[in-house]
Structure 1
Amino acid sequence: MTYKKKLIEVALPLDAINAESAREKSIRHGHPSALHLWWSRKPLATARAVLFASLVDDPSAHPEDFPTEEAQERERQRLFHLIEKLIIWENSTDKELFAQAYEEIKKSTGDNPPPVFDPFAGGGTIPLEAQRLGLKAIAADLNPVAVIINKAMIEIPVKFQNKSPVNPVAKSLLDAEWHGTRGLADDIAYYGKLLKEKAYADIGHFYPKVTIPGIGQKAVVIAWKWARTVMCPNPACRCEMPLVNSFWLSKKAGKEAYLEPMMENDKIRFEVRYGKGKVREGTVARTGATCIACGASIPLSYIRNEAKKGCMSAQLIAIVAESQGGRLYLAANEEHKKIADMPLPEDVPVGDLPEKALGFRVQEYGITKYSQLFTKRQLMALTTFSDRLIDIREQVCADGGTKGYSEAIVTYLAFLVDQLANHGSVICGWNSPNQQLRNTFARQAIPMVWDFAESNPFCRSSGSFHSLYGRMCEAFQSFMPSGQIGMVYNASATADLNVGSVVLSTDPPYYDNIGYADLSDFFYIWLRRNLKEIYPEIFSTMLVPKKEELVATPYRFAGSQQAAKEFFEQGMFDVCQNIYRYATQDIPLTIYYAFKQTDMDVGGTTSSGWETMLSAIIQAGFSINGTWPIRTEKPGRSVSIGTNALASSIVLVCRKRPADAPICTRRDFLTALKRELRPALVNLQQSNI
């Protein structure tokens, strides 16, 4: 079968794509990822370039228009220049530029571009960029958290585009124009602020200001720093022993601050010191801890046993406050200790942590329920914000919004509750070099954090409600909804969705690298509490479904690596067979996959997710026509330390292999290789590979 080659099957402006993809990872304000966290999202620039180059013909496919190699190369460079403009972050909402790109796509698809389907939609990058290019976007994912994220990106914004906001302040602005998602963003800002005000009226008194010693002035607290404690096993000591990873509070040049432990009446308290003093090492490490009081070495096994018996507590060791000169560090005081000691709130979301899971470490320390990942005050804050969402729904309707519109607003505000959870758990640490809170998912894991920071949701610093909802509103600036409402399915990649003939582009699971289902339960328990009434089918289960999740995790197979490997291999083959039915003949499908994988030695042969992916693609009936190395991950991420990190992605460019495809001899293969190799190398060199 002959087909017109697409640009992606010949050449790409790879340097420009990689540079912009890497740059985009550092963009925080105005990025769609600010709506809700998802792990290992691909950059928008990457997906945008790959989709465009998959749909647009390579000039060599039109010898009647470009008869010479020189003419083809000139046209190719014109398309490269268009891609280089398309992928620039600042051009993400340039309507004229994207209209030009859409015309190029139409020209190469007979004026009828097919829909784009991503069966592993995850954080929604690929469907969002398909929609930005003017195409119909179809997303599917087994994970309910991913499903609701995709709805918030490709369904809700299009449904309510170009609509005026309903809040009373906006109604008074008679001359305002509400193009695109501006009206939706304005209402989210208004009702988000209202949500904060209602929550503060309920619980603001549990977040008092701190008195600055010697001055008497009050300062807003940013965070309270706590250290976990166990009783020292030394019979001559028996003090409540703080477990502190680092005594540094600030390592910022010229503003250094640290904690100095002091013994007082057989108890340990902490004083704040400023400057470059001699800061002692932390008291806990990988192998065990050291008692500050008596110097005894305590094995980690003792700490684990004490924690499992319910004998681990927490001690307030410092208070971080806002001041005109920057961060202010103060010693703990009795008022702030007592006010944090409150009863457990009612109606806390239930859910057990998995006994074992990728990246989970807290179960070894007696933390077996998701509610135990939060302090009582954190649970009180989250349940209060959650409960007040009902009031917001009613208020939106009272202000003239439809039932559907009120549900849309509450969906985004429910995301803010998730964001508060991410920045308000006992997994959050204090980043002393940057003097700011470290969120729960600084890594793709739930690790044990010995000295955690409890944020104040009512301050204005990073991680507060004010900061988070501000970032969410800014994110809408990067949306450019097309006229077509995206379709989002809560379904496995092997389900028969009857989507017709589509362009497939997807980023499948990375063998055993990320346990999405286990990690996303952290958010699911809150989303279910807040949105079950609006989306009963999506949130019908107590936790995220895991049985069908395509990940090679031995703990789900009684510890058997072989069984986990076979499950992943069979599952990936079933997925590829399924997408073969949907894939259009005229346009290649693109599959992202990790370049670096955890290899596993089974029976003397090495297998990995990478090899499994290649095997599944070929066995399902596809041919691999090209591969492109795309650098998509930020260097120096936390997950890179001591782990087999994903250095880059490979984009596999595949075509359906005809059922009557001929079998060639070795001589035929070598002849074809000699014929194709030289021009292919020239094209690769033009892409700087």
Structure 2
Amino acid sequence: MHDRGVRKIDRWFPIDAVDEAVGNPAGSGRSEKALTTWFAARPIAQARAATLTALLPDVNGQTQRLIDIVVRGYDKAAKDGAATDLIEFKDAVSRLASLIEGRYPEGPPVVLDPFSGRGILPLEAARFGARAIGVDLAPLAVLASRLLADYPYRDWSGEPDLPAGWYPDSKGMFDDDRPKLVRDVEAFLLEVGRRLEVKAEQYYPRNADGRFPWGYVCAVTIACDGCQRRFPIVGSLVLRHPYTKTGDRGQWMRLVTSGDTFRAEVEDGTPEQQPTFTAPPGSSKKTARCLFCGHVHSRDTIKRKGFAGDYDDIPLVASDAQPRQGAKDFRFLRDDEIRAFLAAQHASLEPVGALSVVPDEPIPAGNNDTVRASGYGYPTYGSLMNRRQAVQFALNAEAIRDLAADARGAGASSDYVTALAGFAAATLGRRVRRATRGARLLTHGKSDGSKQNRVQTSDVYADESKVSDGFDYIEAGPGEGPGTWDSIVDTSVNALTRVLEWPSSEARNGRFRQGSATALPLRDNSVDACITDPPYLNMIDYSDASDLLYVWVRRTLHDVMPDVFGPEAPSLQPKDEEIIVKRGGGAVNDHRTGDWYHQQLAAAFTEMRRVLKDDGHLTVVFGHHDPDAWVRLLGALHEARFVVTSSWPARTESANTGVASIKVTVTIGCRVAPERRPDGMMSQVDLEVRREVAARVKRWRQDGLAMPDQLMAAYGPAMEVFGQYASVLQPDGEHASLERYLLLARTVVKDATTLVLDSLPLETFDAGTRLAVYWLQVHGLGAVAKGEARFMAQGDAIRLEEVRDLLKESSKGFTLLVEPADADPDEHTPLFLLARAISHRWITQGADGVADVLAQAVVSGCITGPSDAHLWAVISELERVLSQSHPTAKALAAVQRSRNQIVNLTGQAADRVSSGRKQQVLEVGDAR
């Protein structure tokens, strides 16, 4: 029997299969992610590959073929003619499950994810028959994991049917051959919708045809500082764009004043009026203009009014979902609709146990970037909705609790009731995404009618994991249309159906609990593999961003899932042990800093080492373009006495939905470090690192891996070498740092890239120019994190302080300066800066000005002459890289066309500059 200590991941990983599969719906995990709202989930293809390669030993190529099949979803070897037999996906799944069972005769392997999040990694372990265990600090993540990888794989066949009236008439209880859980979840969700309609009807009057309006366009109003009358802050008057193909003229909203009041009217066509919230010409900062007197209010003034409690919400127009596909018609408000909105402001609802019916939990300080409404004076999570929205959600949660009690009364077990109510609570949470002031009216199409004109609601998490806010927004009703309960139900049922289509009876349900990765509830030496996707430094504020969902889910499940959401649950998700770096600037004393992240991650890895068996493996999935994140991650692994045995970069983020900005993540195989490792000499280790990284770069280049991703992926092989030694000794006897080898890995990538400018090797240019040209190739003109900028500079032995003329620092990091620069060259001026100075002189003084600055450069020794090949190579490169409309590019293009004239003029200018300098020297001498 082969040694289980050597796993597939140590020698092989299906990189090509993962790269292909993440772009497909099945490989991306789109269905699995649709069940609940959580952030930064692994694509299923990578999770599957990481799980199987971590569990299976390195036996033979046939195993690799099976893994390739289940990752891609089909038999590529048979399709390409490399194999004569065709292996179906379900057969490959079954055979791999049998292989795992055979390799662990003492019982199914135990697989742990201590940062389980949504549960994607444990799901894949459970699907192949492993005992999957997930731990996460966030209660919402625990719920998400149970809905994905626990409840779907339990046997519910012994549960009684729900009341007959809950099932849809079109399918019936007896004619529906879908899995019982799918059938019952759908019935439960549909009944919730029916009860919500009854409960909410007094606040959302039906139309004459008995149907509910789809929703209401609402706005925040403020009192004008000029005339004291209240006016709405509206950023767009478009309700529906025209569409020429269907003869639809579109609709817009006209704001009409009458004395001290205003109203909104709906007209066909395109807007003939300006919104009240716009940016003045030449500015990007929006201001609010009074509808009555025209007085302008700055954003700071608007914020102050929010903190002073001066905001009021009002509905402006209503929208009905028409029978024709996707059509939305807007209309004026009826009197009964206005009265119903006002009635909701004073609705009296029963508390939810010890909880207020509308969440009154304060938004913690330091969340202006994450929960943006808190920067405008909204103090609680309940205040992120208008009062009627909040009442509707309270009634929605109440309907779920009522049904849970009824299902229990119909004989359903406590676990089954928890599962059904859990899926409903997750659906409610997903609806929150379309139902706060951050949910804008999305008007697809164009004002000229050339594109299809669908109307939807925006997602409050559209900007990654930040909770958006707005002054005008769409409030969805309890009926049909985007953002309604009805619209979310179908997605939930379809997602669950696809999750349950797994073609193997070997799947077993995972187990998930709320807890900290630094205090795992497991015995020593009890886990066969830890497979985890730890937080990516400062990429996502998991708990802060999702507390809006948590407060509503807790009110739904407080007595249904008490171990997570019951009386002992915190008012907001725990932050004290959250292992992240708080992004966007937290509270003044927020503990979630870079040092905290490093220390706690090391503690978590130490716990994983404790629970791993002697031959167990740790697999870490990670990706970040800031080297500081890698220093902290790899340093934490090193401190926890893990050694990297392999690293496999794959394009895993291409199918993600805007959660993370990176395109490549690295799957890292690790083992516990041997008790005795030799010390290494720096010169020898340097050579080994260079050799190993260079070999990988050759493969990465063949695969078309982008330069930024090569730089990130290079850390893995460097750590594989570094980890072979207990320490690496410098000639002076001191220990070489891990950071040194990450920098060396990047240097190898850079050195392996033959960069030339007009046939001149990049290394023959000055250091500042080398940095600038390489920066352009790797990062372009975008902002670069400070840690990455520091590493970039160190690669050319430069300190950032030395290149202030080349880089601009902001809160987002550093950007490369490429604009025309008014600079006088000296002997230390980088050619890159001189090229920008030349573009400035051309714009301001023409050819003569360029000749003057070149003459200064010649006389000072910055360049060898006006025809200096290195200078003209930089000019050509900068003009080539920038867009043709960029002022620097346009100026340098003109300079190149006038090169001969400029070179001739420079000779005369150089004589003048030289004579002027000699005269200055004489005058100084005379003065002395």
- Pair in the same fold by TM > 0.5: yes
| Larger RCO (CA within 8 A; separation ≥ 6) | 1
Distance 2:50 2:29 in 1: 23
CA contact (8 A) 2:242 2:269 kept: no
1:204-215 aligned within 5 A: 204-210=201-207
2:549 equivalent in structure 1: 523
2:652 matches 1:632: yes
After the TM superposition, which of the residue ranges 384-393 and 183-192 deviates more from structure 2? 384-393
1:22 equivalent in structure 2: 23
**SS across alignment from 2:72:** helix
Cα shift readout 1:367-399 (whole Å, capped 9, x = no counterpart): 101111122222222222222334323322343
CA contact (8 A) 2:476 2:482 kept: no
The Cα shift of 1:454 comes to 0.4
**SS across alignment from 1:17:** helix
The Cα shift of 1:139 comes to 0.2
2:475 matches 1:454: yes
2:727 equivalent in structure 1: none
The Cα shift of 1:231 comes to 1.5
2:241 matches 1:244: no
2:339 equivalent in structure 1: 338
2:407 matches 1:392: no
**SS across alignment from 2:97:** helix
CA distance 1:281–1:20, shift in 2 (3 Å) = farther
2:223 equivalent in structure 1: 231
Q: Find 1:268's aligned residue among 262, 267, 270.
A: 262
2:15 matches 1:6: no
CA distance 1:560–1:612, shift in 2 (3 Å) = farther
CA contact (8 A) 2:580 2:597 kept: yes
2:558 equivalent in structure 1: 532
Distance 2:585 2:402 in 1: 41
Cα shift readout 1:132-189 (whole Å, capped 9, x = no counterpart): 12211100011111112222222223334445651244798557656xxx11121122
2:665 equivalent in structure 1: 649
**SS across alignment from 2:483:** coil
The Cα shift of 1:220 comes to 4.0
The Cα shift of 1:574 comes to 0.9
Q: Find 1:201's aligned residue among 198, 202, 213.
A: 198
1:544 equivalent in structure 2: 573
2:376 matches 1:365: yes
1:135 equivalent in structure 2: 130
Q: Find 1:595's aligned residue among 599, 619, 624.
A: 624
CA distance 1:394–1:660, shift in 2 (3 Å) = same
CA contact (8 A) 1:17 1:87 kept: no
1:23-422 aligned within 5 A: 23-24=24-25, 31-58=31-58, 76=64, 79-85=67-73, 95-106=90-101, 114-163=109-158, 166-169=161-164, 182-210=179-207, 220-234=212-226, 237-251=227-241, 253-254=243-244, 255=248, 256-276=250-270, 280=274, 283-284=277-278, 286-325=285-324, 326-341=327-342, 342=344, 343-346=346-349, 347=351, 348=357, 349-357=359-367, 358-422=369-433
The Cα shift of 1:483 comes to 5.2
The Cα shift of 1:193 comes to 2.0
Question: AA paired with 2:667?
Answer: V
Cα shift readout 1:238-295 (whole Å, capped 9, x = no counterpart): 3322211222222464344332333333433333333355563561454532233333
Cα shift readout 1:434-483 (whole Å, capped 9, x = no counterpart): 41012332331123211111001222x23221222222222221134855
Distance 1:663 1:162 in 2: 60
1:482-631 aligned within 5 A: 482=506, 484-499=508-523, 500-539=526-565, 540=568, 541-553=570-582, 559=588, 564-586=593-615, 588-597=617-626, 608-631=628-651
Distance 1:589 1:530 in 2: 37
CA distance 1:202–1:558, shift in 2 (3 Å) = closer
Question: AA paired with 2:398?
Answer: D
CA distance 1:556–1:253, shift in 2 (3 Å) = closer
CA distance 1:679–1:630, shift in 2 (3 Å) = closer
CA distance 1:279–1:663, shift in 2 (3 Å) = farther
Distance 2:656 2:121 in 1: 25
The Cα shift of 1:686 comes to 8.2
Question: AA paired with 2:307?
Answer: K
Distance 1:175 1:275 in 2: 49
Cα shift readout 1:352-378 (whole Å, capped 9, x = no counterpart): 111222512212322101111122222
CA distance 1:195–1:440, shift in 2 (3 Å) = same
Distance 2:51 2:161 in 1: 36
Distance 1:174 1:277 in 2: 54
Cα shift readout 1:190-235 (whole Å, capped 9, x = no counterpart): 2222222222222224222457xxxxx776411101111112211x
CA distance 1:206–1:97, shift in 2 (3 Å) = farther
After the TM superposition, which of the residue ranges 338-347 and 613-622 deviates more from structure 2? 338-347
1:68 equivalent in structure 2: none
CA contact (8 A) 2:14 2:49 kept: no
CA contact (8 A) 1:165 1:186 kept: no
Question: AA paired with 1:35?
Answer: L
CA contact (8 A) 1:248 1:279 kept: no
Question: AA paired with 2:677?
Answer: A
1:604 equivalent in structure 2: none
Distance 2:690 2:389 in 1: 66
The Cα shift of 1:338 comes to 2.2
The Cα shift of 1:647 comes to 3.9
Share of identical aligned residues, percent?
22
**SS across alignment from 1:654:** strand
The Cα shift of 1:637 comes to 5.5
CA contact (8 A) 1:585 1:655 kept: no
Question: AA paired with 2:680?
Answer: C
CA distance 1:329–1:121, shift in 2 (3 Å) = same
Gaps of 5+ in 1: 63-71, 212-216, 598-606
Distance 2:235 2:259 in 1: 24
Distance 2:40 2:693 in 1: 35
Distance 2:222 2:649 in 1: 49
Distance 1:635 1:77 in 2: 24
Question: AA paired with 2:35?
Answer: L
Distance 2:601 2:107 in 1: 31
Q: Which has the larger radius of gyration?
A: 2
**SS across alignment from 1:406:** helix
The Cα shift of 1:111 comes to 8.1
CA distance 1:344–1:634, shift in 2 (3 Å) = farther
CA contact (8 A) 1:624 1:654 kept: yes
Q: Find 2:462's aligned residue among 414, 421, 442.
A: 442
Cα shift readout 1:602-651 (whole Å, capped 9, x = no counterpart): xxxxx7323211111122111223333333335796668xxxx3444232
CA contact (8 A) 1:20 1:87 kept: no
Question: AA paired with 1:192?
Answer: L
2:504 matches 1:475: no
After the TM superposition, which of the residue ranges 93-102 and 149-158 deviates more from structure 2? 93-102
CA distance 1:209–1:614, shift in 2 (3 Å) = same
The Cα shift of 1:531 comes to 1.9
The Cα shift of 1:106 comes to 4.2
CA distance 1:281–1:27, shift in 2 (3 Å) = farther
CA contact (8 A) 1:58 1:76 kept: no
Question: AA paired with 1:509?
Answer: P
Question: AA paired with 2:22?
Answer: S
CA distance 1:55–1:615, shift in 2 (3 Å) = same
CA contact (8 A) 1:422 1:440 kept: yes
